[in-house]
Structure formats: structure tokens, C-alpha cells
Structure 1
Amino acid sequence: MKMLDQLVAFLGKNPISSERVSQQKVLNLSLDSRQIRIGDAFIALQGEQVHGLDFLANVLPQQPAIIFSDQCPTQAQQQRLDAYPDMVCLVVEHLAKRLADLANWFYDQPSQRIKVVGVTGTNGKTSVAFYTAQLLNGLGQKTALMGTLGNGVFKQGQDTLAETVNTTPDVVTVHRLLAEFIQQNVDWVIMEVSSHALELGRVDGVVFDTVALTQVTRDHIDFHGSLNAYQDAKKKLFTDYPSRIKVLNASDAIGKKIIDLFSQTAEHSVYIWCYTLIKPVEKMPFNCELCCPKLILTPEGMLLELTGTALMGGGEKIFNPIFVPLMGAFNAENVLCALSIILASDLNRNTTHFWDDLVKGLSTLQASKGRMQLIELPETYPTVMVDFAHTPDALQQVLFAVKQHLNLFSGRLWVVFGCGGDRDFGKRPLMAKTVESLADCIMVTSDNPRFEAPEQIIQHILSGFKYVDSVNVVLDRQKAIEQVLALAKAKDVVFIAGKGHESYQNIKGVKIPFQDEKIVLNWVLGVKQHGKPE
């Protein structure tokens, strides 16, 4: 909270003449007209299609303390403002570029008063954040999350996260949330940092305690323009933002490049922590603190045998091996990343109590919603899973995991998938090739078409199949899922990919309520009541 005259002075504007206004308290900053409450400062910027001032009809009745804009109001907008004589709207040049400094100052440098962990990568960000939060909670650390699943204080088994539009919120919201978490006595904030966030400055001004890399493949080429540009955006979290610890995947090509980069610098204050699923053959410039030279996959999860310098002082005896109830070798990497974040911290690990609690946490880890999520159904139905996988690499990893964990010799693997509209066209045929190489039966359908014609998206996907005549196509996602469920046998596995936790389908800009899990459960309920359709 700041006084209005302080806020005006910070932005370099002349003092406001009204004594009542100038002495008013400003409670919060917001770019979102829907979040404005009495006493807030509304920041109106030019968006992709509309300007923040276009929402004055919604903002003004909420009685904000002040409005800052990057452009002068139009005549119609000024008329709305004039209807509220005490309302002040100040035009600030280069306002968008000043948001990070403004928010960081307004909320009293929140990232320097709480441990902030930034996690980036193409796949695995959400899982790593979720696993880290679970493990920290088990160690008595109060943890908050910012990411795909929502923002808020994490509580095991409880839906405490507020829904979010973007993986990483805007820069003002980031600093506000950090300040709110401090007020709630949170010890750690685990934040998913997307490539969009790094390019658009959504985490500017944040001082990270730890930054961590999962792995980098292909995604968001529509936004970045090329794979190299996308990879460069991911690197920024490690090169452009201050952090005490950098946790890197030594098995990932981009991870190796970042490791090599820091091995050539004289920056001794940077702590480089490396983890790898397999012990690297090549000599590395840094010790590998956490390795998993032996991984055994079982129908119930996986057994990890861990080695490395991080386990000295108690851990090397306990991790020999450790059971984790998660599926897929890729999840083993996610677990290693989450473990690395904790072990690299200044938590006291020189006690048996620490290691015992950590092992207990690992043995009870739960997958995040919509990530390799098994839908519980009676034995007479096929095994059904939903997952957020929406890139070629993610699809390959999850489908390969299903093949490894589940006995499919007596059944078939059905895959239902589509691709998002107005996004990377190039990945569509690649996803088709991936699915064709691993699935027994394929259903192509809609995902989130947005403003693109679903028929066009599906044609792009079909171009990647070698045997396109054997591929089922149903445009309506609900009907596609229901058709597969009706055809699948009890020993089959139905894998529904692309949307995972999402509770909507984006069609022409309208988010229509839709959830893959509910479609499955409702279909099963209908079968119980009316019998299985012919």
C-alpha cells in the first residue's frame, strides 16, 4: 500500500491539487478491469485488440483511487471520466516499460522477502512445481504456487488455487501475489515461468532464490518465430535474471549449453546444480549433484536408485532405492528436478529427520491434475487417462510411459487427440507421426480451435499420418471421446490428450465449459442407467 501522492511522484507526474485525492491510500495496482476494487489504481494499457480505457464503464463504478494510461482518452472515454468529477486519469509515457519497477516498488520488493523458485522448460513445469510443493509441505514449509493449475497457497488434497488465464501472470500481478503470500506467512513460492513471460517481461524485477530447467523441445513457434528464438527465450531465466541457485538438467541439450556458459565465466557467486536421469558419460564442468543410474518402472509407479554428491551426509543410505507412485521415465526427471530444488536450498539436511520426511514425501507423491491422470472406473470399463500433452515430445513421452507401465499385450492403446487453433502449425503433422508410431487405434478430434476452422486443423494433422485411412476422425470432441469409449474393451487403454486439467473448450474466443474427465464420467453414468450404445 502507498499514498496516492507517493505513487504519482514515483511516476514523475505533477502533484494532484485536490487535497482529498492526494492523501488517499492506494491499496493495489491492477491491469485487469475485472479485479479493480475501491481504492485501487487501474493501469490502462493497449492490448492486442482493445485498450484498457475501453473498460471504463466497468472500472469507474468500482471507485478506483486513480487511473494511469499510456495514451490520452478518446472523446467518448473522456465523457465517461467527466461523469466522475473526482476521478483522475494521468497519462504516463512508456508506462508498459515501467510496470516492473512500479510494481516492485509499490509492493516493497516482495521477491527479496520470500524464497521464489522459477521453473521453466517445454514440458514438466507444472509437475515439477506440484511435486516441489508437496515435498516442501512434508518438510513443514508453507508453499504457494503460481502456474497453469492456478495461483495460491498449496494445500495437499484441497482445491485452494485461484484459476488463472496465463501460466505466468502479468508483471503487476506477479509482484502483488508475492506480497500477498508474504502476508500469509508463506515460506516458498514455486512459479512456472513460460517463454511468453520471459519475452514479455512478466517476471521483470523478480529476484529468484532458485531457477530450474526441466527440458526444452519444441513449442510456441507461432509466437517466437523459430525454434532458436524459443530456446533463447528459455535461456533468459538463467542469464538475464538474478538468482542464487541454478538447477539444470544435464541430460538436456539446452541445459548443457547453459552449464557450459557458466563454466566459462568467473562468476563464483552462482551455484550451479546439475541433475540427470542417467549418469553422463562425458566429463562435465560441474559435479552432478543428483543422478539416477537405475530406474525400474512398475505397474504401480517406479523405483529410483539415486546417487550423487547431494546425498552425502545421510541421504545415500536412504535412497537405495526409493519408490515413487508416478508413471513414466519423464516423471523421474521431474522428480529429480523437484528434489534438486529442495536439496540445493539452505534447508538443514544434516539430520535423519530431514531425509525420513523427504522419503515419505516421495513415496506419497501425487500427479498433478490432468497430468497422466487415471480416471477411476469399474473393472468392466477400459483404463482411461487424461493428459495435457500437446507437443510432439510430450505426447511421445506420455504414450511411451503408458506402453512401459501397463500390460498392453492383451489390449489396445486408443489415443484421442487434436491440436490447438491459431498456434504452431508445424507441430501438427509431427504429433500425428508420434501417435501413429505408438497407438493401436487413433481418434483425431478438436482441441481448442479458437478462431481457426477445426476442419483445417484436422487436415494439417492428417497430413502427418502414413496410413491415414486407418485414422478415425470426429470433429465434435465429446462425440469423439464417447465413440472411443463405446468401442474400447475392458483390457484396452484409452488415452485422451491435449487438454488435461482444462475446464473449457475455446471456440471462436468463447470458453465453453468442457472437461475431458467429466465427459468420461458422464458417459459411464449414462451406460449404467441406459446400457452401452450399440
Structure 2
Amino acid sequence: MTTAKPISAQPKNILEISQYLSNFIEGFDLSEVDAEYPEVTVKQMSLDSRAIQSNDLFIALQGEKSHGLDFLESVFLKLPGLVISDRVLTEQEQILLDAHNQSHNQKVRLWVVADIQSQLGNFAAWFYDRPSQKLKVVGITGTNGKTSTAFFTGQLLKNLGHKVALIGTLGNGEIDNLQQSANTTPNSVQVQRLLNAFVEQGMDWVVMEVSSHALCLGRIQGVTFQTVALTQVTRDHIDFHGTEEAYSEAKSRLFTEYETQSSVLNVADALGNKLCHEKLQKNNSETVWCYSSEQLKKTLSADYKILPDLRCDNVQLTQQGIKFTPVFHNKRLADNLEIINLALMGLFNLENVLCAMSILLVNGFSWQVIKSKLPLLQSVAGRMQVLGKSPTIILDFAHTPDALEQVLTAVRSHLIDGNGALKVVFGCGGNRDQGKRPLMGAIAQSLADKVILTSDNPRDEAPAKIIKEIAAGINQSDSVQSMVDRKEAISQVLDHAKEQDIIVIAGKGHEDYQEISGVKHPFSDAEVVQDWLLTKESKKHG
């Protein structure tokens, strides 16, 4: 294993920064820069006024609700090394700056660089000594599957002895020590700052989810990729992009506008098929790897006849997970094929695993080594997370009609020959979309053999009222029960489950609290299940 050598980005002094900006951003005049204190260095960059420390660089830009200059007074108190704004100061802001500088020995320098927003990622990459070039960065985009694919890729790399960090929905940081994040892909300054921290921590690989917003807003500008990958693209975020075509075009930018060694594309997806065809036509130095979870005949019925490098055959869904045989276009990889067992639920996870496998294969990892690690893959916490077997107990965050329908449909496919029953425990959050409640009730009754309605995060609403509104979409029958106490509801369905049953506990996923009347009380579905499993085990041996 090759470990990246920790190299700290050297702090930049005022003159270095001004020289860079004058050469890089049109219209920035070096003669306007105060060079009175060339010894002053800038340690870190940030767009967040709350994160600024002494001698840091604060970039003041227009946000969704406010401008960074609105927080000048609090920023000044931290004595930043430099403030850069995309607009000139108002008269009141200038008075504030002058008053501060007159009362402090260390003056705050403020530059106006009108084009800073358009080149912010490149500026941050330069400031942190282009950290992505010292790491192997994988960028993954798509409508669904980004989070799971990134997590599976990270797990495989970690299990093969590499130091891996993630940037995405699950959080940012080393794969086993993720810190919560506000966005799937952070802003461009934070991305470069994180990458620099990962270099200093000796990471080998960084697996990053890349959202369509990030691609449109330049959040990954300045990132050099080892590999970029596509899961699949369906309708989403039309409120931001305007049209499906614009959304699809945004996703394609990861494969057309960024430097990468290789691309991994889902040839069964319309956009993936198109990109794969275009890249193969160019015949450049970039390696293109195509995969598909579809049957071969269906894959080849697409507009462009491309034989995938990796597909699957003999797919079986069982109560224990997914079985399949990988099929490789490369005859060298095709030797000694065998059935692979995944301890994952839901056919869609097979597509995510194929993408993760492809990322490693296109980077030269041995198939023999990869396949030994596939049975170790675990689902993302709270997302089709298997907590127990016999009965199979699944935890999922599904809290919308569409999500609940997808989960129950996917899980139902794992019931073997009609043996066993599908049972679901769920509720709906208070102070949220009330119209979805009867819809979710109807979906649950149509797909599950047993439905237990319970409390979720009732917030300021009465739990019994919420349950009644869910039940409005259900035809009364013995297959439906209501129980306000969530712990009691989970325990009861588990107590009465048979070994062949599959139990889905939906709505809260990884959350470790229950919000009631404005107070968050400690509560975890996973802990309730683990306690039940321990009690069951102790009774067996008692």
C-alpha cells in the first residue's frame, strides 16, 4: 500500500495572494494592494464568517439570504489577515472598517475582486497547493445511488488496506469518522480545505459525491480526479435546473469538463450510454469502463450498441441478500467465474455495487482481491440497513410515499416462494406535509402483509392524530394495527415474527432522537432492535 506523504499547504503571504489574483483574475489591479505588511501570512480560507480565526482569509460573497459583508463586525473582531469581497463596501461598511482599523494595531485589509466567485475553486486549489493532485479522488454523480456507491467504494478500498476519506451526504472525513455536513458537496473553498486536510492526514483515496448543484455552482472547480463515475439519471431538482434536459446536462459536466484518468459509466442509463459512446469515439488517453445490471439483450437494445465491460447474470434475491454471477467482456477477467453473495437488500444495490466494483477494476485492482471483499459490504446506516437475520430486520429512512413504495417493493422481491411475510412499522413526522399521510398508509397496506402504524417525530402534533390521518388511506382489516409508543410497536412486531419474515422499520433511519413538543428525546430504532436481539440471544442460551 502506498500512503500519501503528509504535506502541509504553506500559508500564503499578502503579496503572494495579490500576485496570484492579478495574474489570474481580469481587472484586479496589483497597484491597489497595500504592501505595507508583506510579512503577514494567511493561514486558512473560508466563506463562513463563524469559522474565521486570526490571520485567516474571509471571502465575502452573496448567499441565498445575506451577503458575507453583513457579518463584517464579527469578522473584524477575529482580526482576519485579509477580507476579499465581490462588491464595494457601502458607506456604512467603510465607516465600520475605518473605525476598526483606527482602534487596532493590526489593520484588516479588504480587497474588492469582482470576478472572485467565478474563479474561487481554482483560487482555493492554488492556495492549498492543489491537494487533489496528491490524492486519488473519485467523483460520483447520479440521481440515486451516489451515497451507497460512494460508501461501497470506500469500504472496498478500506478493506484492501487503504486510508479512505468520504465527502458527501453521510458527512466528511475518514470513512469511519465522518463529520456531519450541510450539503452533499460543500462549497469550493471547503472542498479544497478538506482535500488539504486529507493530504495532511495521509489519506490515499477520497471518494466524493458530486451533486448537480455542485456542478452548476462550481463547487468542484480546481479538483483533479482519478476517476469519475455515473450511477443513473432520472428526473430531479427541476426547481433548480428548470428542465430535465438542463439537469441531465449538469450531470454530464463531470465527464466533459474535468480532468480525470478514467470514467465509469452505467451503459443501461440513457446519459451513461450516450457519454460512453462519445468517449469511445474520441479514443483519447482516458480509460472508459462501462457497466450494466441489466440482462445482456436488454442492454444491447439501447441506441448505441456498447458491450459493457462488467454486467451480471443469474441474479437471485434471497432473504439473506443478493446472489449474482459477474460477467466480464475482458476474457482475462472472465476466468473462474463464480457466484457472489452480497449481504445487501434491494436490486438497486446490485447496480451500486457494480459501479463500485468498476471503479476499483478500472484502477487496476485485481478481481481476485476485490471479490474476496464483496461479502463484507455493509449498507449505509439507516438505508436498507440489515440489522438481523431470521427474521430479516431492515432499517430505512424512507419517509415519503415514493421512498416507502420503493423500499417495500424492493424488499418484497426477497421473500422466497411465498414463504414468510413482509411487515412494516412506520409513522409520519409532525408539522410536515399532511397530504402524504393517507398516501403512505395506502402504499403500506398494498405492499405489506402486516402494517403497524406508530409515532415518528410528532413535533407539535398529537401522535394519535397523525396516526389517524395515515389510517385514513387504509381499508380497516386485521392486517393493520396502531400503537403510539414506537419502541413498543417495534418490539411487538419482532416478538410475533417468524424466521422467514422480513420486517421493515421505516421513517427515522439513522436518527438517534424522537422530537416531541419541541424537545428531542434520545431514541434509536437501531438500539431498540439491538436490545431485542440481545434479549432473544440470551433466552436461547438461558
Q: Which amino acid aligns with 2:78?
A: Q
1:47 positional shift: 1.1
Aligned with residue 17 of structure 1, among 11, 26, 34 = 34
In the other structure, the counterpart of 1:367 is: 379
In 2, the alpha carbon distance for the partners of 1:228 and 1:444 equals: 41
In the other structure, the counterpart of 1:292 is: 312
1:247 positional shift: 0.9
Contact 1:138 1:358 in 2 (8 A): no
In 2, the alpha carbon distance for the partners of 1:19 and 1:433 equals: 71
In the other structure, the counterpart of 1:532 is: none
Aligned with residue 358 of structure 1, among 361, 365, 370 = 370
Q: Which amino acid aligns with 2:355?
A: C
Q: 1:421 to 1:242 in 2, by over 3 A?
A: farther
In 2, the alpha carbon distance for the partners of 1:235 and 1:203 equals: 14
Aligned with residue 110 of structure 1, among 116, 124, 131 = 131
Report whether the alignment pairs 1:323 with 2:323: no
Q: 1:31 to 1:337 in 2, by over 3 A?
A: same
Q: Deviations over 1:177-206 (max 9, x none)?
A: 222222223222110011221222211222
Q: TM-score, normalised by structure 2?
A: 0.78
Q: Deviations over 1:43-86 (max 9, x none)?
A: 11111112222333443333321111123344554455332441
Q: Which amino acid aligns with 2:190?
A: T
In 2, the alpha carbon distance for the partners of 1:258 and 1:222 equals: 25
In 2, the alpha carbon distance for the partners of 1:511 and 1:148 equals: 25
In 1, the alpha carbon distance for the partners of 2:272 and 2:75 equals: 45
Identity %: 42
Q: For the pair shown, which has the larger CA radius of gyration, 1 or 2?
A: 2
Q: 1:59 to 1:153 in 2, by over 3 A?
A: same
In 2, the alpha carbon distance for the partners of 1:487 and 1:260 equals: 54
In the other structure, the counterpart of 2:67 is: 51
Query: In the TM superposition, what are the counterparts of 1:127-146 in structure 2 within 5 Å?
Result: 127-146=148-167
Report whether the alignment pairs 1:175 with 2:202: no
Contact 1:419 1:428 in 2 (8 A): no
Q: 1:309 to 1:41 in 2, by over 3 A?
A: same
Contact 2:424 2:444 in 1 (8 A): no
Aligned with residue 309 of structure 1, among 325, 329, 334 = 329
Contact 1:415 1:435 in 2 (8 A): no
In 2, the alpha carbon distance for the partners of 1:57 and 1:468 equals: 60
Contact 2:14 2:35 in 1 (8 A): no
Q: 1:415 to 1:343 in 2, by over 3 A?
A: same
Q: 1:473 to 1:501 in 2, by over 3 A?
A: same
1:469 positional shift: 7.3
Aligned with residue 119 of structure 1, among 132, 140, 145 = 140
1:362 positional shift: 0.9
Contact 2:382 2:510 in 1 (8 A): yes
Aligned partner of residue 191 in structure 1, secondary structure: strand
Report whether the alignment pairs 1:404 with 2:413: yes
Q: TM-score, normalised by structure 1?
A: 0.79
Query: In the TM superposition, what are the counterparts of 1:499-510 in structure 2 within 5 Å?
Result: 499-502=508-511
Contact 2:188 2:220 in 1 (8 A): yes
Q: Which runs of 5+ in 1 are unaligned?
A: 529-534
1:355 positional shift: 4.0
CA RMSD of aligned residues (A): 4.1
In the other structure, the counterpart of 1:60 is: 76
Aligned partner of residue 83 in structure 1, secondary structure: helix
Q: Which amino acid aligns with 1:232?
A: E
Query: In the TM superposition, what are the counterparts of 1:2-401 in structure 2 within 5 Å?
Result: 2-11=12-21, 12-14=28-30, 16-17=33-34, 19-20=36-37, 22-74=38-90, 77-78=93-94, 80-81=96-97, 82-84=99-101, 85=104, 86-154=107-175, 159-263=176-280, 265-281=281-297, 282=300, 284-310=304-330, 312-313=331-332, 315-345=333-363, 347=364, 349=365, 354-375=366-387, 384-389=393-398, 395-401=404-410
Q: Which amino acid aligns with 1:135?
A: L
Q: Which amino acid aligns with 2:197?
A: E
Contact 1:482 1:523 in 2 (8 A): no
